[in-house]
Chains A and B, each alone.
Chain A
């Protein structure tokens, strides 16, 4: 089955800890994205990557980091510098970096205890 997988589905973290969220796609898409979704706020772009070994900050990159070492993988690290990390995190991909539609994974719900 082609698609986007995110793991884990639920993640709990203590304050002060870094945590990494996984995103993998087998759609052969060039571009990948990370969004954060909070109740009543819609989706906000954290980071995006148009090609391997390249990525750019989105609207709310502070406290987050990413890597894109492989075309199919785009992990997101939520660092201890992120002040309010509890949220629903969504990974997406699109065929190219143009105005293509984006396809989303199932999401990871991160809760900071």
Chain B
């Protein structure tokens, strides 16, 4: 079982839809969770960062973490064509010498159609 599983999609939605992107993980030591957005041929851009279970909201984006189920989600409200990108989840532990390391999902390709 891979440490982080993320559905690669592709996911195609109409403009204005609510988008749900998800990752599951197997390592219960993961405590820090991030979502990155990556446009084609560009570097990933940090969207959300959270370290506790529950919801964190930033504009149209909401990050949700359920540590008991080892499941994280990113919701995008009122999706726009400019949201079309690959979304990567990432997570890290807080244990000793390995607390530097981010483990990434493979990314979900999202297309928002006008």
Decide if A and B are genuine partners. yes
Query: From residue 71 to 114 of chain B, which have CB atoms closer than 8 A to chain A?
Result: 88, 92-94, 99-102, 104-107
Whether the Cβ atoms of A45 and B34 lie closer than 8 Å is: no
* Complexed CA–CA distance, A102 and B44 (Å): 10
Query: From residue 49 to 70 of chain A, which have CB atoms closer than 8 A to chain B?
Result: 50, 58
Whether the Cβ atoms of A42 and B107 lie closer than 8 Å is: yes
Whether the Cβ atoms of A104 and B43 lie closer than 8 Å is: yes
* Complexed CA–CA distance, A97 and B92 (Å): 12
* Complexed CA–CA distance, A88 and B101 (Å): 19
Q: Which of A40, A41, A97, A106 contacts B99 (CB 8 A)?
A: A97
**Is chain B's binding surface mostly helix, strand, loop or mixed?**
loop
Q: Size class of A's contact patch? A: 20 to 34
> Given A40-B8, A42-B88 in contact, is the A101-B41 Cβ separation under 8 Å?
no
Which residues of the partner chain A approach B99 to less than 8 Å between Cβ atoms? 97-99
Whether the Cβ atoms of B100 and A50 lie closer than 8 Å is: yes
Whether the Cβ atoms of A99 and B92 lie closer than 8 Å is: yes
> Given A42-B88, A107-B42, A109-B41 in contact, is the A99-B104 Cβ separation under 8 Å?
no
Which residues of the partner chain A approach B6 to less than 8 Å between Cβ atoms? 42
Q: Which of A43, A58, A97, A103 contacts B88 (CB 8 A)?
A: A43
* Complexed CA–CA distance, A4 and B45 (Å): 12
* Complexed CA–CA distance, A106 and B39 (Å): 10
* Complexed CA–CA distance, A48 and B31 (Å): 21
Which residues of the partner chain B approach A107 to less than 8 Å between Cβ atoms? 41-43
* Complexed CA–CA distance, A103 and B49 (Å): 12
**Interface of B toward A, CB cutoff 8 Å:** 6, 8, 31-32, 34, 36, 41-46, 49, 51, 88, 92-94, 99-102, 104-107
Chain A to chain B contacts (Cβ below 8 Å), 12 pairs: A40-B8, A40-B106, A42-B88, A42-B107, A98-B94, A99-B31, A99-B32, A99-B93, A99-B94, A99-B99, A101-B49, A107-B42
